[in-house]
Amino acid sequence: MNRCPDMPQTEAMERYLRGELEEPAASAFEEHYFTCDSCFAALEDLRSLRTELVRSRKAVSLTAAMARHLPWLGLAAAVLALGVAGTFLLSRERPAPTPEPDAVTTPSSRFAELARVEPPAWTPVRLRGSEDEAGRRFREAMEKYEKGDWAAALPILRDASQLDPSAPGASFYRGGCALLAGDPAEAAESLERVVALGDTPYLEEARFYLAKARLAKGDAPGARNELLRIAREDGRRRAEARLLLGRLDALGRVAP
């Protein structure tokens, strides 16, 4: 990837990450950041490095304190500090780990606006030939979905997805309906199933709605992982994912 000639200085990126850029500078920064792959990657690398340094600060401080009493540990402290940067460089392409269920943050109203969704688009398709039971149930559910009756469509989509777990459509729209019905836990479970199926026509949309489901659960790190995956690809949701990342980061900067 070529370096962007308009890439902000590292100091400006640091100020943005700390929430110190004032308007209109912050808006101009984000407008460029959302549309430039090179600057987006550079800012994410800097963000990841800062996170690793913060996580390791206590360990480094503890080692340094011990070194004052045990001189032979002085070199170990230096090696540990250098290892922070080395670990980051070796793992920079890996997404941040999603927290274990008991570490997920409590759902918060400050994510409510970001978690709001529009119903996933649906274009009716007329299939020729025979239709199995899973397909029949899916078609029945989507007839209700077209009318905006998510509550009626959801149990039928559950049946369809259980009858054919390998069919991404039923699981995807089940996830969408569950999210619209206010059940982000079921939505996340169903959408994770779609993502696990791999390269299907629903993959990007499943990641996007999965991020929304995790936001609704208060799982900001999990949502961020999915949005980053979308933002790094050249898909239809890329710009929207980057916008959500910026808003999510802004919430983190003003959080108590």
Q: What is d(CA 67, CA 133) in angstroms, rounded to the nearest whole number?
A: 69
pLDDT, tens only, 24-70: 776 677 667 666 777 776 766 666 665 566 556 555 555 555 555 54
- Read off the pLDDT of residues 23-33 as tens digits, 9 standing for 90 and up: 677 667 766 76
Residue listed under structure tokens 């049946």:
159
Token pair, residue 240, equals: 């929207």
Which pLDDT score, from 0 to 100, does residue 107 have? 44
User: How confident is the model at residue 6, as a pLDDT?
Assistant: 65
Q: How far apart are CA 199 and CA 207, in angstroms?
A: 12
pLDDT of residue 32: 72
The Cα angle at residue 38 between residues 253 and 45, in degrees rounded to 5 = 45
Tokens at 67, concatenated: 């070194």
Domain spanning 102-236: CATH 3.30.420.270? no
- Domain coordinates of the chain in residue numbers? 10-91, 102-236
- Would you say residue 89 has pLDDT above 60? no
Q: Are the C-beta atoms of 92 and 45 separated by less than 8 Å?
A: yes
User: What would the DSSP string read from start to end of 80-131?
Assistant: HHHHHHHHHHHHTTSPPPPPPGGGSPPP-GGGHHHH--PPPP----PPPS--
| Interval 95-147: pLDDT, tens | 544 444 433 334 456 788 889 999 999 988 766 667 899 999 999 999 999 99
The two tokens of residue 205 are 């949309």
Q: What is the pTM of this model?
A: 0.65
Nearest-5° Cα angle at 142, 137 to 147 = 140
